[in-house]
Structure 1
C-alpha cells in the first residue's frame, strides 16, 4: 500500500517533529513523512528537503475560526482528521499513519502495516493493557476521562468506512475539540471511543512494544539488549515521550506522579539520549518561536478562556478588534455586581471553566465576589498570563487588601488539595 507517515506540530515543537522524522525514516526508509504545521510557515532555509505542509494549505474554510477557537494544544489535535483526508484526497495515499511529534520510532511498524494490508480500516492502541492496581496518577479513572485509546498514534486505510469516520470526526472537532473533562471532552481523543462502534474493520493493537509511555510503564519493563531496546523482552517499536522537559533528563513526564524520576521508571538512558537528539535538532531555536495564532494583530495575547466564545466568522488575520476587547472587559450581566469589585465577562469565563473556583467562591454572595475579585487580580492574572489590557477594568475599581489576597489564595489551594485527594 502507498502509505505516508505524518505528524502535526506548531513551530515551537519542530525539534520534536524533526527528531520523530529522523527516526521514522531510519526505520521506514521507503515511506514518505510529512509535518503538518498548525501555525504559520516556518523558516524554509532550516527545513529544506523536508515535507512541511502549513495549515493554510489544507484549504479548509472552517480551520480559520478553529485556530482562534482553540488553544495551541486543542488546535494541533483538531486538525488531525483534516490531515488524513488531505493525504488521501490530495496526495493519493492509500494509508496514513499518524504519530505525535514527541514519539521516537525504533523498529518498522510491521504489525500496523500487516493489519492495514489485511483489510483493517483503522488501527489504534489502548492506553493500558492491564488494570492499574495503585492510586497514583494517571489512574484508571484518569484514563477513562481522557479516553481508552491514545491518539498519539492512529492509522487509517483509505476505505469507505474510514473516510466516513474521518468526515464525522472532522465535523465534531470543528466545534468540540476542547479540554473539558466536565463535559466528557478531551480534544480529539474522546471521540475515538466510538471507533469500535463506527468502524467494523477496526484493529486494536495490543503489542507492548507500541506506544510505550508514562501511562503504561507500570506494566512494561524497558531495557537495552546490545544496540536495541526491548519492552518485556520484545522489540521496542516506538516510545512516546509525553511530558518530558528539555534539559531535565531525570523527569519522566510532568503529567504523572507514579515514578519519582525517569531512573525509577527504568528509562533514564532512553530519555537522556532523546533529549540530546532534541538539542541536536535545535530545540533551543524552535522553542522560542511564538505561536502565530496566540495574539491579535497588535500583539495582544488572546486569553484561552475566551477562545471558545469567539464568533465563528473571525479570521486568522484579524482575531481581535477593540470592540472584542471592550466586550470581554465589560461587567458581566450574569453576575450581581458589587461596588468596587467588578466581575468582567472574561473573569466570569475563567470562573465557569474552573471547578475549583466554583467550589470556593460563591458569586451569588458579596463575600464570594469579593474573594474571587481578589484571587483574579492577585493570582489569576498571573496564572493565565494576562496583560494589563485584560486586568485594568478590575484593577480600576478596587485593589484587594493583603488579607483578601491571602484568604483567596488559601481557599483555592485547599479546594485543589481536596479535589486531588478525592480524585475529582
Structure 2
C-alpha cells in the first residue's frame, strides 16, 4: 500500500508543477503521483515528458454536470480549488493500492524527503498543515484560515474518507477567491475539521510548508549542500506569490531576507529555467508568463541565465 500525491496543473503553473514533480521523484522511493490536467496543453506536454511513477488524469474524466456548472460560475483559480477534494476522492476510490492521499499545490517544491511527515502522523486520519503565521501576519488567520490547503493528507479509513467527503461538499457549495461570511476559498473550511471529525492532527514536523506567511520565523543555512532552516533540514517550501515573467525574471508579492533569495529562491528559479528548456525542446508552448501589469507593486527579481 502506498501514499499517493495529487497535483492539479494548469498551463499557467505548468513549469512550477513539473519542477514539483522532479523534486518529489528525485528524493522519494515507492512513489505514486497523480496529476489532474485542467487543459489540453498541460496533458499533451506532460504526456510527452514520459513522467515515471505518474498517472495523468484529464479533467474530462472527473467532471460531471454539477462541476461543469461550477466551472462556468467560478474563475479558474477558484474552480481548481473546488477540485482539490474532488480529485483526492476520485484517486483514493479508484486506485486500490493507495491507503493515504496527499494533495500538494503545484507551486510547492521539496528539498528533502517528506516521509518524516507521514511517519509522525501515521495513525491519524487527517493531517493538516498550520500556517504558523508570523506575528505581523497573524491577522490573516481570521481571513485565510489557520491551515494551508496547499498540503493536506487523508488516510483511507472511515474518519479520513468522511472528512474528505465533507470538505468536498463544502467546496462544491461555495468556493471563491474572496472572503464571505467566514469563508475563504477551499481553505477556511479546514478550521472546522478538527471539531467535526476525530483523529485529525496538526503537522509538527519541522521544515514543512514554509512560505511567505511564516518565513520571518526562520534563518537559512546551507550544510553539505542541503538547505537548513533554524538548524533543521527544509522539507518543502511553498512558493506562493511567485510569478514567472520570463525565463530571466520573476515577481515576488512580498519581500524576503537575502539568505532566502540566495538559499531557496535562486536554486528554485534555476530549476524552473531547466524545466523551461526541457519543455521548449518538445513543444512550442510559450510559457504563458504573467503580464507585468498583473503584478504591479511586486518585487521584480532578475536571474542571470
**2:100 equivalent to 1:76:** no
Say which structure, 1 or 2, has more relative contact order (CA 8 Å, 6+ apart): 2
Partner of 2:297: none
Aligned equivalents of 1:289, 1:106: Cα separation in 2? 25
Aligned equivalents of 1:124, 1:249: Cα separation in 2? 35
Cα displacement string for residues 81-107 of structure 1 (whole angstroms, at most 9, x for unaligned residues): 111111111112110111111111122
- Which residue, 175, 182, 185 being the options, matches 2:183? 185
Alpha carbons of structure 1 residues 236 and 242: separation in structure 2 relative to 1, 3 Å: same
Conservation of the 8 A alpha-carbon contact between 1:249 and 1:272: no
Cα displacement string for residues 132-176 of structure 1 (whole angstroms, at most 9, x for unaligned residues): 0x4xxxx21123200100111011101111111211211121130
Alpha carbons of structure 1 residues 250 and 216: separation in structure 2 relative to 1, 3 Å: farther
Deviates more, 1:194-203 or 1:59-68: 59-68
RMSD of aligned Cα (Å): 2.6
**2:282 equivalent to 1:278:** no
Conservation of the 8 A alpha-carbon contact between 1:241 and 1:253: no
User: For structure 1, which runs of at least 5 residues remain unmatched after alignment?
Assistant: 291-382, 385-424
1:18 is displaced (CA, Å) by 0.8
TM-score in terms of structure 1 length: 0.61
Structure possessing the higher radius of gyration over alpha carbons: 1
Partner of 2:5: 5
Cα displacement string for residues 232-251 of structure 1 (whole angstroms, at most 9, x for unaligned residues): 10011011111113259897
Partner of 2:301: none
1:265 is displaced (CA, Å) by 5.8
Conservation of the 8 A alpha-carbon contact between 1:106 and 1:238: yes
Partner of 1:209: 207
- Which residue, 103, 108, 127 being the options, matches 1:103? 108
**Residues matched between the structures, number:** 280
Alpha carbons of structure 1 residues 236 and 250: separation in structure 2 relative to 1, 3 Å: farther
1:207 is displaced (CA, Å) by 3.0
Aligned equivalents of 2:66, 2:88: Cα separation in 1? 16
| 1:323-334 map, 5 Å | none
Between structures 1 and 2, the one with greater strand share? 2
Partner of 2:124: 120
- Which residue, 56, 62, 75 being the options, matches 1:58? 62
Partner of 2:160: 162
Cα displacement string for residues 305-324 of structure 1 (whole angstroms, at most 9, x for unaligned residues): xxxxxxxxxxxxxxxxxxxx
TM-score in terms of structure 2 length: 0.83
Conservation of the 8 A alpha-carbon contact between 1:13 and 1:286: no
Alpha carbons of structure 1 residues 83 and 182: separation in structure 2 relative to 1, 3 Å: closer
Conservation of the 8 A alpha-carbon contact between 2:6 and 2:104: yes
**2:48 equivalent to 1:46:** yes
1:48 is displaced (CA, Å) by 2.9
Aligned equivalents of 2:105, 2:141: Cα separation in 1? 18
Conservation of the 8 A alpha-carbon contact between 2:154 and 2:164: no
Aligned equivalents of 2:12, 2:184: Cα separation in 1? 22
